[in-house]
Amino acid sequence: MMFEFCKEALSAKHEVITASRQTGDVEVDIMDPESIRRMYESLPGLDACVCTAGTGYYGDFQTMTSAMMQPGIKGKLLGQINLVLIGKDYLNAEGSFTLTSGIAAQQPAKNGTTVAMINGGIDSFVKGAAQEL
Ligand SMILES: NC(=O)c1ccc[n+]([C@@H]2O[C@H](COP(=O)([O-])OP(=O)(O)OC[C@H]3O[C@@H](n4cnc5c(N)ncnc54)[C@H](OP(=O)(O)O)[C@@H]3O)[C@@H](O)[C@H]2O)c1
pLDDT, tens digit (0-9, with 9 covering 90-100), for 23-52: 999 999 999 999 999 999 999 999 999 999
Alpha-carbon distance 52 to 32, whole Å?
16
Q: What is the mean pLDDT of the chain?
A: 96
Domains: count for the chain: 1
CATH code, 71: 3.40.50.720
Give pLDDT, residue 7.
87
- Do the Cβ atoms of 105 and 59 come closer than 8 Å? no
Alpha-carbon distance 119 to 115, whole Å?
6
Give pLDDT, residue 73.
98
For ligand 1, whether the C-beta of 53 sits within 6 Å is: yes
For ligand 1, whether the C-beta of 55 sits within 6 Å is: yes
Counting residues of the chain whose pLDDT is more than 90, the rounded percentage is: 93
- Which domain does 81 fall in, by range? 2-130
Residues 6+ apart with CB under 8 A from 59: 68, 111
